Structure 1
Amino acid sequence: MSNAAERVVVVTGAGSGIGAAVAHRFAAEGATVVVVGRTREKLEGTAAAAPAGGSVLVRTADLTVPEEAEALIASTVAELGRLDVLVNNAGAPSFGTVEAVAPDAWRAVMAVNLDAVYHTSRAAVRHLRATRGCIVNVGSVSGLGGDYGMAAYDAAKGAVVNLTRAMALDHAPEVRVNAVHPGFTLNTGITAGLTADMPVVQSFAGRIPFGRAAEPEEIAGVVAFLAGPDARYVTGAQIPVDGGLGAATGQPRVDV
């Protein structure tokens, strides 16, 4: 595995939240980070706020389109000479039961949360094989269990879980593939503007053994571990970063 200061890292969905935090973490370690998304202004904000250490390059692409995913990876390797880490973070929430979600909305959720992972990984694998690099997929606790009223999102994130396992098997030992599954996290696209004292946040926090929501930087730390040398024998892993939420049965706390 390359020295951190030599690595080229592509982070999708990097305009804000977890993606921006991941990009900043790799930049602080000295990597060259390519931040990808649909909105240049947001990506430029991520680049401008990056800590000293590495360099951050902005690229716009719609990764639900296979040709754009292929062009992104090809141009990155052509310009920078290599690819060491792909972080598939791009995604978007969706609400509704199967009865309420229209077919076109269902397809759109799958395109953003699942198809983009497939397209970008497919384009990247051969380049990662050359560097013995890795893929880290950012899933969700919603892929490890069900939510009320989030049928399409849960289905897409559940598929990311098993896609991660399949890729880990298919591409070992040259390319490691793992997934991080955040729980309720503040300062992301869906939680922008929420603060810890708001009733909705307190409702989530009341279910979490840590008693609070996560911050994007806490997710980024686990992504960085999986992409680093200390995880060189880890592949196919599904790591929840949820403050202990998944350890519970869902029954209420009873003090005895």
Structure 2
Amino acid sequence: MVEGRDRVAVVTGGTRGIGAAIVRHLLGQGYRVATCGRSAPEAPIAADGREADFDACDIRDAEAVGRWIAAVAARHGRIDLVVNNAGGSPPADAATASPRFSERILHLNLLAPLHVSQAALPHLRAVGGSIVNIASVSAVRPSPGTAVYGAAKAGLVSLTTSLAQEWGPQVRVNAIIVGLIETETAEMTYGTGQAQQRIAASLPLRRMGRGEDVAEAVAFLASPAAAYISGARLEVHGGGERPLFLEIVKENAGAVG
């Protein structure tokens, strides 16, 4: 088995939030990690006295992605793991979202992971590596207000299963369905601290997820323990969101008749 210090991971969008947690966790496991973004972080992403490489790269640009992956492979001699983490979307009314907006969301959340995976494929095949795509609960339930994002993430889940079929046995490809996660921008997504507490209380595990929860799942899927797992979607969502109708029923109990 390859020693931890000899494994190389590529993580897109690894400078903040879930991505930074994944980078730090992989560094702690002995990986050499390369990440990217459109602008450098204020401080290097580090763990256990080791730092991740950072390169500026717009992953929506397939040619730029090719140059970045080639540079990482030249620098480190191999690529064992690709984590397609970069993504997201601001809220947008589906009725009025501009074509340019929708295209950019699709490029970031669906096409960019494909570009990165294609560029890294020869290196992954050479070492029997794996790809982990970071998807979302928006892929598997309605996503009002971020409809194009949900559609893109659903496409990413479908892409995962197709690539697992096409690229096996040399390369395993899996997806993580990420639930409601606390990050440094949680207030922008979930509202006030009180609102976040109510959301956490509504989940079966009585808390929102953390970046480390997703990072642990990534490390598992990349490990020998997952050697026979490919084309899978691992749900990291604390048991899932409680259906709204149950709350309505509870609030109106006894009102019938």
Equivalences for residues 1-256 of structure 1 within 5 A: 2-40=2-40, 42=41, 45-47=43-45, 50-52=46-48, 54-188=50-184, 190-191=185-186, 198-245=193-240, 250-252=244-246
Q: Give the AA of the match of 1:9.
A: A
Q: Give the AA of the match of 2:163.
A: M
- Check 1:27–1:249 CA distance in 2 against 1; reply closer, same or farther (3 A cut): same
> Which sections of structure 1, spanning at least 5 residues, go unmatched?
none
Distance between the aligned counterparts of 1:194 and 1:122, measured in 2? 32
Are the counterparts in 1 of residues 44 and 51 from structure 2 also a CA contact under 8 Å? no
Q: Give the AA of the match of 1:93.
A: S
TM score, norm. by length of structure 1: 0.90
Structure 1 residue 119: deviation in Å?
A: 0.7
Distance between the aligned counterparts of 2:169 and 2:50, measured in 1? 28
Q: Give the AA of the match of 1:78.
A: A
Structure 1 residue 100: deviation in Å?
A: 2.4
Asked which structure has the greater CA Rg, the reply is 2
Distance between the aligned counterparts of 1:185 and 1:234, measured in 2? 24
Structure 1 residue 13: deviation in Å?
A: 0.4
Q: Any idea what the Cα deviations from partners look like across 1:40-88, whole Å, max 9, x if unmatched?
A: 1x1x5242xx211654211110010001110111111111111100000
Runs of 4+ with deviation above 3 angstroms: 192-197, 248-251
Q: Give the AA of the match of 2:18.
A: I
Structure 1 residue 208: deviation in Å?
A: 1.4
Instruction: Give the aligned length.
Output: 248
User: How big is the alpha-carbon RMSD for the aligned residues of Structure 1 and Structure 2?
Assistant: 2.1
- Check 1:57–1:192 CA distance in 2 against 1; reply closer, same or farther (3 A cut): farther
Q: Give the AA of the match of 1:230.
A: A
Structure 1 residue 16: deviation in Å?
A: 0.2
Distance between the aligned counterparts of 1:195 and 1:145, measured in 2? 18
Distance between the aligned counterparts of 1:79 and 1:46, measured in 2? 18
Q: Give the AA of the match of 1:218.
A: D
Are the counterparts in 2 of residues 31 and 54 from structure 1 also a CA contact under 8 Å? no
Q: Give the AA of the match of 1:45.
A: A
Percentage of matched positions with identical amino acids: 35
Are the counterparts in 2 of residues 168 and 177 from structure 1 also a CA contact under 8 Å? yes
TM score, norm. by length of structure 2: 0.90
Report SS of the residue matched to 1:170.
helix
Q: Give the AA of the match of 1:11.
A: V
Greater shift, 208-217 or 15-24, is seen at 208-217
Structure 1 residue 236: deviation in Å?
A: 0.6
Are the counterparts in 1 of residues 187 and 193 from structure 2 also a CA contact under 8 Å? no
